Structure 1
């Protein structure tokens, strides 16, 4: 059996293009899936990565040899349109222009392949493949509000194409249980060909007994530095908490870094805020192991990888409520409402610092969540491969 993987990789992309080496430098889901696929010698596979932005050295379609995988990767470029950074309408036109041009570029590679594995960013590609009796497995890193509403409520060309993909018998969905609209989407589909899992965890579980008192109270946030990830609210909350003996570590890189550095200076937190930049996974985990609290004010979902990894090392977690999340596992974390986010987070930080029993209570809740819900990436990928094997080998629907 031969599988064609088509994905638009955001995290870890620079590392791959610069080194030609498949490393755990971004999305763990893709890292572990492709490593597992590479080890499954009974399956042949090809890789096709669609660039999400212009990248020097990849101005035209080309093959990239990946030194530690059996397969090379076809890299398809992204082209900017003039003035797209200044005008929203041109930016939208650029997005759809690249969707179309990238799909046209990969068409020759699609011939002869019947089994496809695509990501959420390429759902529209599924609408083009399904009429040709292709089998499409889709990895959903959660379900955004836009996707959910388009599939379940809206009536336009785009929503019709998405609904066609989600309801087709030759589609299978493997969704990350990220605390977004995932459960609602699964329920709308009556859980037909829609499977939902927490991401795996491969770090050692640590049970903490008490906080270290020989250093400042350390708050860690692990995420790309983007507006919807909540780092600005974290900095403002830290200031409003009134606590002086704290240290804030922001792990990650992104377009908001300069603004966040300016904000830290404006709030007089620059001497207490560390911007680590992008780190390989093992180095990021070292910061987690030394932390006292993880704060995740991510607008996209409750159960990001940083929350799961914090629970695995026994850390209390502050997380942001999500309007689509109905998951009872929220009870294990200190949840912050969408309204008055900064004020509520400031109050929670103050209490975690000043009340050791409160912090210990939520640390124990994190540990309980980890023990009851989390499994290794090896077992997580094994479950996925069982589903894929059954799906790809069953008779295709007409």
Structure 2
């Protein structure tokens, strides 16, 4: 069977494109599915990556066709340039989307695939092709972003088009269950004929029951992992540790893994208040898992859902986690609370640093509570979180069923 896979080019795939050797960094839902599709001898795979601003730094003024060692597929890269320049206005970006759609449409007519798989970055193409061609289409949603919510409530030209595109008669929609309120959004935004599958992502493995082994026995250690950007809560995490020190007289060690635009600001804040903070930057995945075993608890303050890949890995390691309370009005983290609430520690909101400092201080004073939360999390993770192999098995079965 012929399968056409269409996705934006993610930064985690840049190295593979440049080196022509498959070594993905991040985006496991994309990379692992491509690997499985490529290895399946019953599938003739064709891939199109389109360059979008904000998702890759790859400078490509013209389209090109490549082969990558480790992936059995012809791969086309569609340039993000318009008239020889990166698009800076909405009009130019729309011209780029029209150009990409035309090129993909032309390739579909030539290749005649049995099924087309689109990621969310290709919604303009996916929605149109699903409406005008009879070829089965699968639309992949990587969680619900604020822009996707706005498209359903704000009345302007672009959002009117997006709303119409989301209502396209897709053969199936696959949404990542990342705590962002996928169920409610899919119910309100998609065509009622499109079957919607909302799945948790996977993990490499579920760790053995956690044992707290303190690398720094004299220090209570708290871990933060993620982009150091305004909507991820890194600065709020640091401010809570300042309160732990100044207001609650707690000697807390913070471990921060990640990089981003707030890194220098946070480092200066740490120095100013003489905090014990270990800024580790970007480190290999295996070392992140080691840090979960070497810290007492983990803080995640994402405003748009807390079942990210990093958080699923933390859960699978049996980590004691502090997260914001769910938001009933848009169902953000409703599923997080439903599945894992018994093992979680809550703060009222991602920006309530005083409440976060109180929760951290309470855990520092109650080690038995940490042990209970870790053991509880381990058992819930084993119950609800699939391995990546199990997760991709479901997606492969769906694709083959639709293609046949």
Query: Residue deviations 1:210-239, cap 9 Å, x none?
Result: 452636333222223322111111111122
Displacement after TM superposition at 1:381 (Å):
0.9
Question: CA 1:358 to 1:159, structure 2 compared with 1: closer, same or farther past 3 Å?
Answer: same
Asked if 1:307 is matched to 2:317, the reply is: no
Displacement after TM superposition at 1:36 (Å):
1.3
Asked if 1:147 is matched to 2:148, the reply is: yes
Unaligned runs of 5+ in 2: none
Which residue pairs with 2:97 in the alignment? Answer: 99
Q: 1:288 aligns with which of 292, 297, 300?
A: 292
Contact 2:118 2:138 in 1 (8 A): yes
Once superposed, what is the RMSD of the aligned Cα atoms? 3.0
Asked if 1:203 is matched to 2:205, the reply is: yes
Contact 1:25 1:280 in 2 (8 A): no
Task: Give the whole-Å Cα distance in 1 for the aligned partners of 2:235 and 2:22.
Answer: 32
Which residue pairs with 2:264 in the alignment? Answer: 258
Displacement after TM superposition at 1:281 (Å):
2.8
Task: Give the whole-Å Cα distance in 2 for the aligned partners of 1:166 and 1:217.
Answer: 47
Which residue pairs with 1:317 in the alignment? Answer: 321
Partner-residue secondary structure (3-state), 2:368? helix
Asked if 1:329 is matched to 2:339, the reply is: yes
Task: Give the whole-Å Cα distance in 2 for the aligned partners of 1:292 and 1:191.
Answer: 47
TM-score norm. by structure 1 comes to 0.85
Asked if 1:383 is matched to 2:371, the reply is: no
Which residue pairs with 2:372 in the alignment? Answer: 361
Task: Give the whole-Å Cα distance in 1 for the aligned partners of 2:196 and 2:125.
Answer: 18
Unaligned runs of 5+ in 1: 394-398
Which residue pairs with 1:50 in the alignment? Answer: 50
Partner-residue secondary structure (3-state), 1:67? coil
The within-5 A match list for 1:225-236 is 225-236=228-239
Task: Give the whole-Å Cα distance in 2 for the aligned partners of 1:268 and 1:94.
Answer: 48
Partner-residue secondary structure (3-state), 1:168? coil
Query: Residue deviations 1:11-62, cap 9 Å, x none?
Result: 5134323433333521111121111111222111122222233635533222
How many residues are matched?
386
Displacement after TM superposition at 1:65 (Å):
2.8
Asked if 1:297 is matched to 2:295, the reply is: no
Displacement after TM superposition at 1:312 (Å):
0.8
TM-score norm. by structure 2 comes to 0.84
Question: CA 1:160 to 1:143, structure 2 compared with 1: closer, same or farther past 3 Å?
Answer: same
Query: Residue deviations 1:329-351, cap 9 Å, x none?
Result: 25132232227522222222222
Which residue pairs with 2:134 in the alignment? Answer: 133
Task: Give the whole-Å Cα distance in 2 for the aligned partners of 1:362 and 1:94.
Answer: 51
Which residue pairs with 1:238 in the alignment? Answer: 241
Contact 1:206 1:312 in 2 (8 A): no
Question: CA 1:105 to 1:226, structure 2 compared with 1: closer, same or farther past 3 Å?
Answer: farther
Displacement after TM superposition at 1:92 (Å):
4.6
Partner-residue secondary structure (3-state), 2:180? coil
